[in-house]
Amino acid sequence: MKIIDKKQLAPEIMQFLVEAPLIAKKAQPGHFIILRHRENGERIPLTIADFDREKGTITLVCQGIGKSTREINQMQVGDSFIDLLGPLGKAYPIKKLGTVVCVAGGLGVAPLYPKAKALYEAGNKVISLIGAQRKEMLIMTEEMAAISAEMHFSTDDGSFGHHGFITEPLRAVLAREKVDEVVAVGPVPMMASAVKVAQEFNVPVVVSLNALMIDGTGMCGGCRVTVGGETKFCCVDGPTFDGATVDFQEILMRQRYYRDQEEEAIHRCKLEEAEQQ
Ligand code: FES
């Protein structure tokens, strides 16, 4: 579980290539891992953004937004994670559908990429739409371009591509092209909007939910979501679900539960970092 390569993708977003042959052997698009970076460390779920079975490596992408993720992003080539659990979750079923529009917002490109790559390898035409706050926050664009027939970008500040939300280019693509499925991954409001747009055109849409997780094995209930009126656990039933059946309002509400504690932890972390300098 040693880090064998590390690359900065954007401010506060790092990509790690990690030696994990047993996980690489079984990984499928849609799977994730839970890692601890040190003794007594928090359990952090990260998507498997790519894997190489022959080399025995997996790719992880981490955004330093909390205390633990900021510490992880300080780790260097040669360092090892203390434990890495996976692959977890249900694999996203790959089929030859025809044309698939892959929509990602922010860090959502990391979980989207292995799905988009597998869809491309299965013979689908992949149209990719990638959005971010600003140009330098767009990540994995070369990897996505390599498997996409078309690429469209949007930024919140207009610094690259369409000025506004990525759902606007999505509506334009769906208006002009027969699309067989939309795959949307990113912040919850973005996925909720992408589902609404896909439904306007009667196109099936799948989403990948990033609920709070603790054990990752279906025991704690921390990652519960309501899908089709039933309680599901993201870690064992997902994280990929039929977007049309997901209760996004409930997910947004649950994400707000721990905001105060998270802000407090980030504040303490920044103070510690400042003291160390
Ligand atoms: S993370 Fe505990 S049930 Fe899913």
Write down the domain spans for the chain. Answer: 3-88, 99-256
Q: What single DSSP character describes residue 149?
A: S
Q: What is the pLDDT of residue 214?
A: 85
Q: Name residue 132's beta-bridge partners.
A: 155
| Distance of alpha carbon 253 from the chain centroid | 20
Do 213 and 43 meet the contact criterion of CB atoms below 8 Å apart?
A: yes
| Mean pLDDT of the region 148-177 | 94
Q: What is the pLDDT of residue 170?
A: 96
Do 134 and 155 meet the contact criterion of CB atoms below 8 Å apart?
A: yes
CA of 236 to the centre of ligand 1 (A): 8
Architecture of domain 99-256: 3-Layer(aba) Sandwich (3.40)
Q: 215: Cβ below 6 Å to ligand 1? A: yes
| Mean pLDDT of the region 176-203 | 95
CA-proximal residue: ligand 1, atom 2 (nearest): 220
The DSSP secondary structure of 198-247, one letter per residue, reads: HHHTT--EEEE-----SSSSSSS-TTEEEETTEEEEHHHH-SEEEGGGB-
Q: 213: Cβ below 6 Å to ligand 1? A: yes
Closest CA to 60 of 113, 136, 126: 113
Q: Within 10 A of 19 (CB to CB), how many other CB atoms are there?
A: 17
**How far, in Å, CA of 240 to CA of 150, rounded?**
24
Q: What is the pLDDT of residue 213?
A: 82
Specify the amino acid at residue 256: R
pLDDT band, residue 88 (cuts 50/70/90) = very high
Query: Quick one: tokens of 255?
Result: 């994400």
> CB-hemisphere CA count at 13 Å for 105?
24
Is residue 274 scored above 90 in pLDDT?
no
**How far, in Å, CA of 179 to CA of 203, rounded?**
7
Which ligand 1 atom lies nearest to the CA of residue 219?
Answer: 3
Query: Quick one: tokens of 263?
Result: 């802000």
Q: What is the pLDDT of residue 41?
A: 84
Q: Would you mind telling me the total number of residues written for the chain in this entry?
A: 277
| Mean pLDDT of the region 110-135 | 95
pLDDT band, residue 262 (cuts 50/70/90) = low
Query: Quick one: tokens of 180?
Result: 């067989």
Which ligand 1 atom lies nearest to the CA of residue 220?
Answer: 2
Q: What single DSSP character describes residue 15?
A: E
Q: Is 253 helix (H, G, I), strand (E, B) or coil?
A: helix
Out of 233, 237, 251, 254, give the residue to mutate to test ligand 1, the one with the largest number of ligand atoms within 8 Å of its CB: 233
Do 57 and 19 meet the contact criterion of CB atoms below 8 Å apart?
A: yes
Within the chain, residue ranges assigned H as helices are: 21-26, 67-74, 109-121, 141-146, 167-176, 188-200, 234-237, 248-256, 259-276
Is the C-alpha dihedral spanning 258, 9, 50, 207 positive or negative? positive
Residue-averaged pLDDT of the chain: 91
Tens digits of per-residue pLDDT, 21-41?
999 999 999 999 999 999 888
Q: What is the pLDDT of residue 55?
A: 96
Tens digits of per-residue pLDDT, 102-118?
999 999 999 999 999 99
Q: 220: Cβ below 6 Å to ligand 1? A: yes
CB contact burial 191-222 (16+ within 10 A = b; e otherwise) = bbbbbebbeebebbbbbbbbbebebbeeeeee
Q: 3-88 domain in CATH 3.90.1150.10?
A: no
Out of 35, 235, 254, give the residue to mutate to test ligand 1, the one with the largest number of ligand atoms within 8 Å of its CB: 235
CA of 193 to the centre of ligand 1 (A): 26
Q: 244: Cβ below 6 Å to ligand 1? A: no
Q: What is the pLDDT of residue 49?
A: 93
Location of structure tokens 């591509």: 161
Out of 44, 90, 209, 213, give the residue to mutate to test ligand 1, the one with the largest number of ligand atoms within 8 Å of its CB: 213
Q: What is the pLDDT of residue 259?
A: 67
Which ligand 1 atom lies nearest to the CA of residue 45?
Answer: 1
CA-proximal residue: ligand 1, atom 3 (nearest): 218
